[in-house]
A and B are shown apart, each in its own frame.
Chain A
């Protein structure tokens, strides 16, 4: 066991934990003020819901000893056997519990991302039930397939350093299913839904950027050169993407916006995630520059297609994650990570195909499973709040609270 590695992973876990309240602020500022608490709550309470789920069965099914490449099984139910000694397969120089808690933070934030798609209109009870089912039936299997020892996508050669497919594509595509099935907010397209607190959103974006260093660099599971590479490319991609987004806005709409800068930064962070341990700084520049083009275009397309993905989870996480996963197939280099593979630009076009397959599997699996789960939840508790509750706002209707009692 290595004290430096252990310290780094524990700190990284704390950084990733901070991303969930950071996400709460990022999303919260973009909704209307009558829904601020409802929106914050849907991210914040994930810390509660998914932690318990992770301890009881989540970690075991995601990372436990493999069954047919599909799932981890129940050997580690209640974290049985997960102790202070390193695991034989995950993070050989850190306590197994450290690896487990690091992964727990990823499991927490992923379903929180989806909430952006159905902001301002879903019942709290439905949201809790949906979250538990989604974590169990979508996240855990997917994490096993990509990161679990013996998982079939990992064995196929799919490269996802810190969660492009497992976290971003899965949540992004699930968000699409949610937006389509749950339907638009009342007044969408007719009333102006203006972000009520962009200072909060920008603060959230800053916290996300900060926490993402733990998300990506920590995924090296060691305090070493690879972690430094992941840290650096994460920073570069985010910076470039923020500049790229506001440049596009400036040209397209005449003004750069703070929401654009924050959105661009987040898109860059999303895109670099799968490749952070496989690509270099110049690749990060390109990945960051292009993700904003893709995501901005995706958001424009959303207006034409007419679905209400309220906070652009599909546009930013779904498309950004897809670009990042494919870009990994272009720019990966064994010079950076000998345990990875080379991408197309380093003489190995096959990797791009493997990445594409992993992306396609994730798209289909997440979309289909999420659709089924949503239908089931709708039957059991009903997904949407009533028209009157939606009009009054989630804060009052779901939580008996007012976000801003400013007199």
Chain B
């Protein structure tokens, strides 16, 4: 089992979510985050005082899936989330030790 953490541009969330659903991914957790990589922030001006805001709003999608599906998921996320401009984001793959469904107690791939 693996977890995919994908940091993407917020407006791409719907497309990525729909794509993953059609692929068979049954659930995900989404958080609003901010960060930066090579995409620098922007400036804001309040009563003449200028502030450089480095952090850019992003969305983090966390999906746990069967290891077999990972390459397909990565390809799909990349396809749906890409704009070609700096700031498109990153995908991280992390091994998962255990998964438990709280309601039933199922474990492992049954619980995904």
Contact = CB atoms under 8 A, between A and B. Distances in A.
B31 to A, nearest CB: 13
Interface string B1-25: 0000000000000000000000000
B46 A252 contact: no
Contacts of A257: 45-46
A259 interface: yes
Nearest to A297: B48
A194 B52 CA distance: 11
Contact of A259 (B46, B50, B53): B46
Contact of A253 (B45, B51, B52, B53): B45
Interface string B25-49: 0000000000000000000111111
A14 interface: no
Contacts of B45: 249, 253, 255, 257
B47 A194 contact: no
B44 A253 contact: no
Contact of B47 (A192, A255, A299): A299
A66 interface: no
Contacts of A255: 45
B47 A312 contact: yes
Contacts of B50: 253
A194 B48 contact: no
Interface string A21-38: 000000000100000000
Interface string A250-285: 001101010110010000000000000000000000
Contacts of B51: 192, 194
A296 interface: yes
Secondary structure class of chain B's binding surface, majority of residues? strand
A195 interface: yes
B54 to A, nearest CB: 10
Contact of A296 (B46, B48, B52, B53): B48
A296 B47 CA distance: 8
B48 to A, nearest CB: 6
A303 interface: yes
A7 interface: no
A194 B46 CA distance: 7
* Residue of B46, B48, B49, B52 with most partner-chain A CB within 10 A: B48
A300 interface: yes
A296 B50 CA distance: 14
Contacts of A30: 46
Nearest to B51: A192
Contacts of B44: 194
Given A255-B45, A259-B47, A299-B48, 11 more contacts: A192-B51, A192-B52, A194-B46, A194-B51, A194-B53, A252-B48, A253-B50, A257-B45, A260-B47, A263-B47, A312-B47
Interface of B: 44-53
Interface of A: 30, 192, 194-195, 249, 252-253, 255, 257, 259-260, 263, 296, 299-300, 303, 312
14 contacts: A30-B46, A192-B52, A192-B53, A194-B51, A195-B46, A249-B48, A253-B48, A255-B45, A257-B46, A259-B46, A259-B47, A299-B47, A303-B48, A312-B47
